[in-house]
Amino acid sequence: MSELTRCNYCSLQTIRKEAKKKKLKVTILAGWHGGMDVYMHPKNVTRQELRACPEAPDGGRRKY
């Protein structure tokens, strides 16, 4: 890894700080094709709604 490349932990901390400023929530879920997906969304959105299939008519995870 290059010294100029941010690590995943540092990127996540930046996302969390930004979410706090915007009064949003950060949720981490397993990705559909491996890895982890990070979502920044309104506090009233539940994990169950985020788990919906991304190909769902309402967009599922794609909104966030």
Annotated domain spans of the chain:
8-57
SS3 21: helix
Predicted pLDDT of residue 60? 64
The C-alpha atoms of residue 56 and residue 9 are separated, in whole angstroms, by 30
Chunked in runs of 10, what are the mean pLDDT values of the chain (64 residues)? 83 96 93 84 86 62 70
DSSP per-residue letters across 25-54: EEEEEE-BTBSEEEEEE-TT--HHHHTS-T
Geometric angle at alpha carbon 9, from 52 and 48, rounded to 5°: 15
Closest by CA to 41, choosing from 19, 58, 57, is 19
Supply the pLDDT for residue 1: 59
- Per-residue pLDDT, 40: 92
